[in-house]
């Protein structure tokens, strides 16, 4: 069975959520087996995810049944959902039951607060190695999908579990959404070792979340940098959390100050802090820094996980073999996915990556073989760890308002430059709505003209030099 | 000089871009549109800056909503 669920101790608690549902491995295996028979094989099913047992059994059961799920956030922006529905014409939807009224499709089955809808779409041919689909984290307009092949998710579950030393005694608090590559990875990794996963839909800033961590004696937490911003705002370092022994981070770069804070917190409290790095294209994690090195290598993502290999290439694509080097960080391993899809025909494509992925992140490698991410080659930001394409945002603004637009920024804020003062407020609202990210992550600047070079390309480095109107 | 209530309402109406008429006991964290954790962080910061107080962890996590927030601020001597 997928992730070896049926090999675990049948009586051990596998999963619990905040809606009062819980299943042992025996019960979970039975549900997965039952759900695996519900869908026609090789059909595409959209799952609108919440971190609940309902969403989880659907995801596991559909994969077991050789259907192909695309995981999306249940709060997905409606325009984006429509464009995905139109493009990929899924045969089924697995959605929270309270959302059934928003769709005009018959319900074939429901359980654990989720309902299976059969759309009017036919099954269409897809590649036989395709197992799973995910959007590239976060989205603007119509996002690319990442195509996972059979074996990716399980290989990563196995190797990350080994790298972290997870055992059957772990009780991870699963806060990151399962529609997000790292959120799903935490879930998969712990199911793989037979641990008890504590799914939560509670917000980190609400007392419910902290009560849950304490009441359930959660043993580890995985967050993105923003999660730790919240932790520190709530002075978690003063909280008594005796069972929480491992803190892990991924999905973005912590500031050095925060990294050191977490490493020192771990050392002082005899806990482990493990920084990691991953992408949607690598199902998720590629590397992690062993806890004992956290204090000595602030900002490092460590070394490749078992069965994986990190390497660096120069601008011509040649691999850098010197021990200490700097270049574009790449990875080889069984968790590298098949490639992207921008339309349903591309779901037929074979493996484009062939086990090797170029991250587009720049990194340096030190004398101990530890990697440090130093920059980004491609034009995207990670706002709250959601990948947002700068070029895509420019296009969206241009199309919506018919005005010139240039976008730059860093992982804390996107700066949007326009020349039409009357649109300033509307552009901010529009981009915030399209990306589903709060407006404080964006700032709109009105300048006289967008600086360009002779071939018309925007000179991004000159933007902040223009006087603001 | 704005009253405490005016200052409090102003923080909400500007941050969430809503009318004062929408500020009631149903305007709550996680339910009201745009009131997610990032907005909550921003809200807490603005409240702390405006009223010159430092909220305790429990008060941040129990803040809950527009009406409940007033009760919490009363603990800090901010009357509305």
| A–B CB contacts, 8 A cutoff, strictly below | 47
* Candidates 3.40.50.12780, 3.30.420.40, 3.40.50.450, 3.30.1360.30; CATH matching A2-375: 3.40.50.12780
CB-CB neighbors (< 8 A) of A235 in chain B:
57
User: In this model, does residue A141 exceed pLDDT 70?
Assistant: no
Q: Please tell me the pTM assigned to this model.
A: 0.89
- Pick from B37, B65, B69 the residue to mutate for testing the A interface (most A CBs within 10 Å): B37
Q: Exposed, middle or buried, A111 (CB in 10 Å: 0-12/13-18/19+)?
A: middle
Q: Is-contact A455 A422, C-beta < 8 A? A: no
Q: Is-contact A137 A386, C-beta < 8 A? A: yes
Residue B7 DSSP label: H
CA distance B30 to chain A (A): 8
| Percent with pLDDT over 90 in chain A | 85
CA distance B56 to chain A (A): 8
What is d(CA A137, CA A146) in angstroms, rounded to the nearest whole number? 10
Among partner residues B38, B40, B64, which is closest to A384 by beta-carbon distance? Answer: B38
Asked if A207 lies within 8 A of B61 by C-beta distance, the reply is: yes
User: In this model, does residue B21 exceed pLDDT 90?
Assistant: yes
CB-CB neighbors (< 8 A) of A238 in chain B:
57
Nearest to A415 by CA among A384, A394, A401: A394
- Pick from B16, B40, B44, B72 the residue to mutate for testing the A interface (most A CBs within 10 Å): B40
Q: Give residue A287's pLDDT.
A: 98
pLDDT 10s digits, A198-220: 999 999 999 999 999 999 999 99
CA distance A229 to chain B (A): 9
pLDDT band (50, 70, 90) for residue A142 = low
CB-CB neighbors (< 8 A) of B42 in chain A:
438, 440
- Pick from A203, A205, A213 the residue to mutate for testing the B interface (most B CBs within 10 Å): A205
Domains, chain B, ordered by start: 4-18+25-75 (1.10.1200.10)
Three-class DSSP category at B42: helix
Asked if B30 lies within 8 A of A206 by C-beta distance, the reply is: yes
pLDDT band (50, 70, 90) for residue A139 = low
Partners of A9 in beta bridges: none
Q: How many CB atoms lie within 10 A of CB A465?
A: 9
Instruction: Name the residue ranges covered by the structural domains of chain A.
Output: 2-375, 380-465
Residue B65 DSSP label: B
How far, in Å, are A450, A458, A460 from residue A453 at the CA level? 10, 6, 10
Among partner residues B17, B34, B37, which is closest to A205 by beta-carbon distance? Answer: B37
pLDDT 10s digits, A94-133: 999 999 999 999 999 999 999 999 999 999 999 999 999 9
Averaged pLDDT of chain A: 94
- Asked whether this chain's domains A2-375 and A380-465 adopt the same fold, the reply is no
Q: Is-contact A91 A108, C-beta < 8 A? A: no
The two beta strands, A246-249 and A197-199, are unpaired
Asked if B29 lies within 8 A of A205 by C-beta distance, the reply is: yes
CA distance B37 to chain A (A): 6
CA distance B41 to chain A (A): 8
Asked if A207 lies within 8 A of B58 by C-beta distance, the reply is: yes
Among partner residues A205, A210, A437, which is closest to B40 by beta-carbon distance? Answer: A205
- Pick from B13, B16, B41 the residue to mutate for testing the A interface (most A CBs within 10 Å): B41
The ipTM value here is 0.84
* Candidates 1.10.3720.10, 3.40.50.720, 3.40.50.150, 3.30.300.30; CATH matching A380-465: 3.30.300.30
pLDDT band (50, 70, 90) for residue A23 = very high
What is d(CA B2, CA A351) in angstroms, rounded to the nearest whole number? 64
Is some CB atom of chain A closer than 8 A to the CB atom of B21? no
Asked if B60 lies within 8 A of A234 by C-beta distance, the reply is: yes
Among partner residues A206, A210, A440, which is closest to B38 by beta-carbon distance? Answer: A440
């Amino acid at each position: 069975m997928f992730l070896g669920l049926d090999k675990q101790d049948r009586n051990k608690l596998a999963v619990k959520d905040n809606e009062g549902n819980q299943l042992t491995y025996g019960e979970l295996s039975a549900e997965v087996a039952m759900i695996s028979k519900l869908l026609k094989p090789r059909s595409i099913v959209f799952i609108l995810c919440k971190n609940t047992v309902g969403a989880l059994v659907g995801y596991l059961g559909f994969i077991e049944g050789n259907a192909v799920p695309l995981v999306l956030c249940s709060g997905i922006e409606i325009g984006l959902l429509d464009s995905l529905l139109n493009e990929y014409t899924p045969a089924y939807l697995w959605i929270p039951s309270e959302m059934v009224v928003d769709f005009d499709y018959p319900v074939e089955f429901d359980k654990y607060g989720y309902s299976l809808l059969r759309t009017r779409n036919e099954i269409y041919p897809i590649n036989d190695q395709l197992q799973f689909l995910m959007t590239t984290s976060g989205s603007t307009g119509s996002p690319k999908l990442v195509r996972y092949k059979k074996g990716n998710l399980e290989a990563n579950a196995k190797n990350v579990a080994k790298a972290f030393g997870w055992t059957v005694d772990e009780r991870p608090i699963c806060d990151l959404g399962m529609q997000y590559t790292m959120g799903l990875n935490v879930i998969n990794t712990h199911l793989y070792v037979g641990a008890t996963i504590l799914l939560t839909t509670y917000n980190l800033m609400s007392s419910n979340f902290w009560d849950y961590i304490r009441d359930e004696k959660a043993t580890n937490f995985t967050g993105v940098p923003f999660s730790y911003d919240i932790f520190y705002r709530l002075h978690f370092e003063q909280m008594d959390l005796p069972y929480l022994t491992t803190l892990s981070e991924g999905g973005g770069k912590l500031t050095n100050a925060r990294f050191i804070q977490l490493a020192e917190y771990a050392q002082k409290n005899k806990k482990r802090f493990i920084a990691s790095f991953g992408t949607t294209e690598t199902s998720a994690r590629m590397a992690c820094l062993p806890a004992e090195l956290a204090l000595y290598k602030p900002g490092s993502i460590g070394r490749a996980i078992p069965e994986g290999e990190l390497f660096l290439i120069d601008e011509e694509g040649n691999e850098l073999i010197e021990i200490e080097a700097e270049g574009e960080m790449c990875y080889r391993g069984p968790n590298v996915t098949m490639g992207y899809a921008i339309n349903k025909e591309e779901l037929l494509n074979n493996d484009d990556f062939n086990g090797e992925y170029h991250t587009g992140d720049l990194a340096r490698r030190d004398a101990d073989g530890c990697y440090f991410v130093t920059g980004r080659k491609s034009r995207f930001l990670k706002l709250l760890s959601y990948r947002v394409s700068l070029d895509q945002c420019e296009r969206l603004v241009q199309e919506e308002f018919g005005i010139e637009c240039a976008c730059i920024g860093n992982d804390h804020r996107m700066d949007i430059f326009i020349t039409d003062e009357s649109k300033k407020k509307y552009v901010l609202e529009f981009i915030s709505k399209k990306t589903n990210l709060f407006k404080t992550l964006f700032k709109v600047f009105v300048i006289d003209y967008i600086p360009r070079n002779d071939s018309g390309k925007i000179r991004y480095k000159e933007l902040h030099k223009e006087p603001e109107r | 000089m704005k009253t405490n209530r005016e200052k409090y309402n102003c923080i909400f109406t500007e941050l969430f871009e809503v009318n004062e008429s929408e500020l009631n006991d149903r305007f709550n964290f996680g339910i009201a549109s745009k009131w997610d954790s990032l907005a909550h962080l921003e809200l807490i910061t603005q409240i702390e800056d405006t009223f010159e107080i430092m909220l305790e962890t429990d008060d941040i996590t129990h803040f809950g909503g527009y009406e409940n927030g007033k009760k919490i601020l009363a603990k800090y001597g901010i009357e509305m």
